[in-house]
Amino acid sequence: MPSFIGQWTTTRYSGNDPANPEMITLTITADADPNALDGAYPRPGEDARLFGPLDATGLIWTARIDERNSSGDEGDAVFFLSADGSTIYGAWQSQQHGNGPQPWFGTRI
């Protein structure tokens, strides 16, 4: 069965600068809860964190984003895993910018 766990090269769009998407290396790991995942990506200062539950199929991850100790931002994301486990796609929303959901997608490294 495909899994989110691993490293991903991702592209994240932001409503405050839609012409310049951000390239992010996202690392996703297992959580102590087998029905949840943890994630992290580099930020100036402290790395950003993602955490949240998987759906029953294991193909949808709903995550809370915590960049409070770097950019000062927080947000929410939802990711869908492709059937072959090679790509993720979804969207995120920043509380700081309030621009509505923005695309975030990537491929496994």
For 32-84, the pLDDT digits (tens) are: 999 999 999 999 889 999 999 999 999 999 999 999 988 888 999 999 999 99
Report in angstroms the alpha-carbon separations of 1 from 4, 5, 38, 59: 10, 12, 19, 10
Q: What is the pLDDT of residue 67?
A: 92
**Better-scored residue on pLDDT, 98 or 11:** 11
Whether residue 108 contacts residue 6, with contact meaning beta carbons closer than 8 Å, is answered with yes
Angle at 64 between CA 62 and CA 66, to 5 degrees: 155
Domains annotated for the chain, with CATH where assigned, are 6-108 (2.40.128.120)
**What does the alpha-carbon distance between residue 50 and residue 87 come to, in Å, rounded to a whole number?**
18
pTM of full prediction above 0.85: yes
pLDDT for residue 96 is more than 90 = no
Q: What is the pLDDT of residue 8?
A: 99
